[in-house]
């Protein structure tokens, strides 16, 4: 072993050894950080460190691939020359900087998402402007970069001090000797990459333990390779006739009938008890990361949301509502398409997602003009292409990213003189609400009804907003929530002064919760979100029944008494028989159905698990014996059919209306 650190390859082995030390230290630190989410004894964590070592070794070997090839092919005659030293130092500096930067980023990502790098990190690598600006605004970047450079230089100094650098420059190995070393190292690298899979780190029922066993860089590459998941290939399936029979039974409301007798057509005509031709304006405010537990209505004692809490008392208030996912695009998908969260990327981010049957299909039929109002650049997460593809007008910051040419929509750029405050993710909530008022005024003057889908950004890291609005300091989640609530209250006070206010319904809902970390793959408590329907003209009431995010708009249409043809998976909560309420909850890979207190979970290893969920404590107890097959089959029918319908183009508007 000692000889490995005394020859031409001494520096290569030192880099690998250093990476193993750093990675183990990260795993230990994250373990201590997450003790409250762990279960079992410390001995039960040993497999995580053992499996993790293999992942770390693989990435350590991957880090030195370029240097390994350099050592193999650099001419024997020039070993130890100025050129050799200069190239080696450049490769070493770059390798160490990437290594240390990636290690530091592990902590920030874990803090935000409670996991190693995953598909979210892949997405963030695509949208570099928002991410780089967010990092710059959230952390003292010059100080961090300077510190990383100092750490790299200190490491290089240690290598010189220990004689490692000198050994690399003075030991003139022949080509055949070098070939033996390089070939073995390359073969080991290829072998580990070939046989190791990220799923092999998922040996525990505790999701935090599984994440600890992984390596961030390895997980990043694994997520990049599996950015799309085909339902049939990875999940339990049922025969097609059984899927459609179960689905059509579950979707039919008492006030609906199927319009055609086709096994796989779910188009249903909704026939209200008291049909109405009323066309109120509708403004949907989708608030970034507004967890239910921020509200005083749900027990929070910090008085962060006085405006929302006050509005809830005057509104139809959904108190038992669950978001379908943990990302903004999942909330958008649920609220506009009213479908369960299919595996892999949200439909918002997928190709061929234009002209889908959506809430705007219904609005267009009734003569509405619909707007997507966003304070950042809607290029992020493909939002502009998605909303434009459903016929929305786009209002965004427009940083020069065009909407695809095949999307025919009108785009309105938020001008610099309309912005009082802006950070990495977009303009502050007060400014975005001014855009809402501006376009509402325009439509009102044209005497036509409008729908607005507003996406706020202030309740997002770096949690910055205009000074002097609230007493709390900048930079914390609680401060951002309080500012978000302040801006919402100001918006509605200003809207009340408008002539169109009395004929405008406001739907104020969260896109998802602020975090989802916990012991389980899916933490139901971290999907609990608030929603109110304000100014509807109906008596205030609390809807305490279990409700899915995909049910919000069908429920609103029910309150409005609209007759329409639906191919939604979402239902009018007031038409669901007692005891049949359900909520769809998932993440990138895991799909679930909550019904009463039983949560049925499907995973991408063709597995199914069931849990008893205690809402008051947030704990889930897994079924140890027989599973409830009827619930498993029902869950499969929803997710299998939704995945197939999108894949086969049956979610398109043209597929939803029979000839």
pLDDT digits (tens, 9 = 90+) for 159-198: 999 899 988 898 888 888 889 999 999 999 999 999 998 8
pLDDT at 76 over 60: yes
Q: How far apart are the first and last CA of the chain?
A: 76
Question: 386 Cβ partners below 8 Å, 6+ apart?
Answer: 332, 347, 348, 349, 353, 354
Q: What is the pLDDT of residue 573?
A: 98
CB-count burial class (<10 Å; 0-12, 13-18, 19+) for 469:
middle
CA 395 to chain centre: 23
Q: What is the pLDDT of residue 521?
A: 79
pLDDT at 375 over 80: yes
The fold of 240-571 is Alkaline Phosphatase, subunit A (3.40.720)
Provide mean pLDDT across the span 575-604. 94
pLDDT at 126 over 70: no
pLDDT at 581 over 80: yes
Provide mean pLDDT across the span 104-118. 83
Nearest-CA neighbor of 282 among 30, 603, 527, 500? 500
Q: What is the pLDDT of residue 128?
A: 61
Q: What is the pLDDT of residue 394?
A: 97
Q: Phi, psi (5° rounding) for residue 652?
A: -65, 155
Half-sphere exposure of 385 (CA within 13 A, CB side): 17
Query: 506-518, pLDDT tens digit by residue?
Result: 999 999 999 876 6
Residues of the chain with CATH 3.40.720.10: 240-571
Nearest-CA neighbor of 382 among 363, 402, 362? 402
What is the rounded distance in angstroms from the CA atom of residue 487 to the CA atom of residue 509?
15
Q: What is the pLDDT of residue 518?
A: 65
pLDDT at 123 over 70: no
What is the rounded distance in angstroms from the CA atom of residue 285 to the CA atom of residue 580?
28
Q: Phi, psi (5° rounding) for residue 626?
A: -75, 135
Query: 531-571, pLDDT tens digit by residue?
Result: 999 999 999 999 999 999 999 999 999 999 999 999 999 99
Q: 587 with 521: CB under 8 angstroms? A: yes
Give just the sign of the alpha carbon dihedral 78, 81, 86, 88.
Answer: positive
Q: Phi, psi (5° rounding) for residue 427?
A: -75, 160
Average pLDDT over the chain reads 91
Query: 481-526, pLDDT tens digit by residue?
Result: 999 999 999 999 999 999 999 999 999 999 999 987 666 778 999 9
Q: What is the pLDDT of residue 137?
A: 73
Q: Phi, psi (5° rounding) for residue 481?
A: -65, -45
User: With bands split at pLDDT 50, 70 and 90, how would you rate the model's confidence at 625?
Assistant: confident
Q: What is the pLDDT of residue 658?
A: 55
Q: State percent of the chain over pLDDT 90.
A: 71
In the numeric block, the tokens 């967010």 are attached to 134
Query: 247-284, pLDDT tens digit by residue?
Result: 999 999 999 999 998 888 999 999 998 899 999 999 99
Q: What is the pLDDT of residue 405?
A: 77
User: With bands split at pLDDT 50, 70 and 90, how would you rate the model's confidence at 127?
Assistant: low
pLDDT at 2 over 60: no
Q: What is the pLDDT of residue 1?
A: 52
Q: 389 with 407: CB under 8 angstroms? A: yes
Q: What is the pLDDT of residue 448?
A: 94
Provide mean pLDDT across the span 457-463. 92
From residue 98, alpha-carbon distances to 19, 265, 589 in Å are: 11, 52, 29
DSSP E strand boundaries for 324-432: 369-374, 393-396, 411-413, 422-423, 426-427
User: With bands split at pLDDT 50, 70 and 90, how would you rate the model's confidence at 4?
Assistant: low
Provide mean pLDDT across the span 44-50. 88
Nearest-CA neighbor of 363 among 536, 510, 556, 122? 556
Q: Phi, psi (5° rounding) for residue 5?
A: -105, 20
What is the rounded distance in angstroms from the CA atom of residue 574 to the CA atom of residue 416?
45
In the numeric block, the tokens 């097609």 are attached to 240
Task: For the beta carbon of residue 179, count every other beta carbon within 10 angstroms.
Answer: 12
Provide mean pLDDT across the span 369-391. 95
Q: What is the pLDDT of residue 227?
A: 58
pLDDT at 122 over 80: no
What is the rounded distance in angstroms from the CA atom of residue 58 to the CA atom of residue 47?
17
pLDDT at 325 over 60: yes
DSSP state of 356: B
Among 173-182, 596-605, 625-634, 644-653, the range scoring the smallest mean pLDDT is: 173-182
User: With bands split at pLDDT 50, 70 and 90, how would you rate the model's confidence at 108?
Assistant: confident
What is the rounded distance in angstroms from the CA atom of residue 227 to the CA atom of residue 223?
6
What string of DSSP letters covers 477-533? HHHHHHHHHHHHHHHHHHHTTSTTGGGEEEEEEESS-S---SSSSS-GGGGEEEEEE
Provide mean pLDDT across the span 437-452. 97
This prediction has a pTM of 0.81
């Amino acid at each position: 072993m000692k000889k490995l650190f005394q020859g031409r390859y001494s520096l290569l082995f030192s880099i690998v050894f250093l990476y193993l030390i750093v990675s183990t230290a990260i795993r230990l630190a994250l373990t201590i950080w997450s003790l409250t989410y762990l279960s079992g004894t410390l001995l039960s964590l040993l497999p995580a460190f053992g499996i993790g070592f293999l992942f770390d070794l693989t990435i350590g070997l991957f880090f030195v691939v370029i240097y390994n090839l350099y050592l193999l092919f650099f001419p024997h005659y020039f070993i130890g020359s100025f050129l050799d030293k200069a190239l080696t130092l450049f490769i070493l500096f770059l390798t160490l900087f990437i290594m240390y930067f990636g290690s530091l980023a592990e902590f920030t990502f874990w803090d935000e998402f409670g996991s190693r790098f995953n598909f979210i990190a892949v997405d963030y690598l695509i949208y570099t402007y928002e991410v780089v600006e967010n990092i710059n605004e959230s952390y003292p970047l010059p100080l961090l970069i300077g510190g990383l450079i100092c750490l790299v230089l200190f490491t290089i100094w240690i290598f010189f001090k220990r004689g490692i650098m000198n050994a690399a420059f003075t030991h003139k190995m022949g080509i055949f000797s070098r070939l033996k070393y390089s070939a073995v190292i390359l073969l080991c690298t290829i072998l580990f990459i070939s046989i190791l899979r990220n799923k092999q780190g998922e040996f525990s029922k505790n999701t935090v333990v599984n994440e600890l066993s992984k390596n961030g860089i390895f997980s990043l590459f694994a997520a990049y390779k599996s950015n799309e998941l085909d339902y049939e290939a990875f999940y339990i399936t049922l025969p097609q006739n059984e899927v459609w029979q179960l689905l059509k039974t579950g979707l039919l409301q008492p006030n609906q009938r199927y319009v055609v007798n086709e096994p796989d057509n779910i188009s249903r005509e909704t026939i209200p008890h008291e049909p109405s031709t009323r066309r109120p304006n509708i403004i949907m405010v989708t608030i970034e990361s507004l967890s239910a537990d921020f509200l005083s209505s749900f027990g929070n004692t910090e008085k962060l949301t006085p405006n929302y809490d006050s509005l809830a008392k005057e509104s139809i208030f959904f108190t038992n509502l669950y978001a379908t996912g943990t990302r903004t695009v999942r909330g958008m998908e649920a609220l506009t398409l009213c479908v369960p969260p299919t595996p892999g990327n949200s439909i918002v981010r997928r190709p061929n997602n234009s002209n889908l049957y959506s809430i705007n299909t219904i609005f267009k039929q009734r003569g509405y003009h619909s707007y997507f109002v966003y304070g950042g650049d809607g290029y992020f997460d493909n939002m502009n292409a998605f909303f434009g593809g459903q016929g929305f007008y786009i209002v965004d910051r427009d940083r020069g990213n065009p909407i695809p040419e095949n999307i025919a929509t009108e785009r309105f750029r938020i001008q610099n003189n309309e912005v009082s405050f802006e950070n990495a993710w977009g303009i502050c909530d007060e400014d975005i609400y001014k855009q809402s008022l501006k376009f509402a005024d325009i439509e009102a003057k044209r005497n036509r009804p409008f729908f607005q889908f507003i996406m706020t950004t202030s309740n997002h890291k770096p949690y910055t907003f205009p000074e002097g609005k609230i007493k709390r300091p900048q930079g914390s989640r609680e401060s951002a929530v309080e500012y978000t609530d302040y801006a919402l209250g100001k918006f509605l006070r200003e809207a009340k002064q408008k002539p169109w206010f009395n004929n405008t319904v406001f739907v104020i809902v969260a896109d998802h919760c602020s975090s989802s970390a916990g012991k389980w793959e899916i933490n139901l408590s971290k999907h609990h979100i608030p929603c109110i329907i304000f100014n509807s003209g109906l008596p205030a009431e609390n809807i305490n029944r279990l409700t899915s995010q995909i049910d919000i708009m069908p429920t609103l249409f029910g309150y409005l008494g609209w007759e329409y043809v639906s191919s939604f998976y979402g239902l009018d909560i007031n038409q669901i028989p007692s005891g049949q309420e359900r909520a769809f909850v998932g993440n990138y890979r895991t799909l679930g159905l909550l019904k009463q207190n039983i949560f049925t979970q499907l995973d991408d290893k063709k597995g199914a698990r069931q849990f008893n969920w205690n809402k008051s404590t947030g704990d889930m107890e897994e079924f140890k014996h027989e599973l409830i097959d009827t619930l498993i089959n029902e869950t499969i029918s929803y997710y299998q059919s939704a995945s197939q319908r999108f894949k086969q183009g049956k979610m398109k508007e043209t597929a939803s209306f029979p000839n």
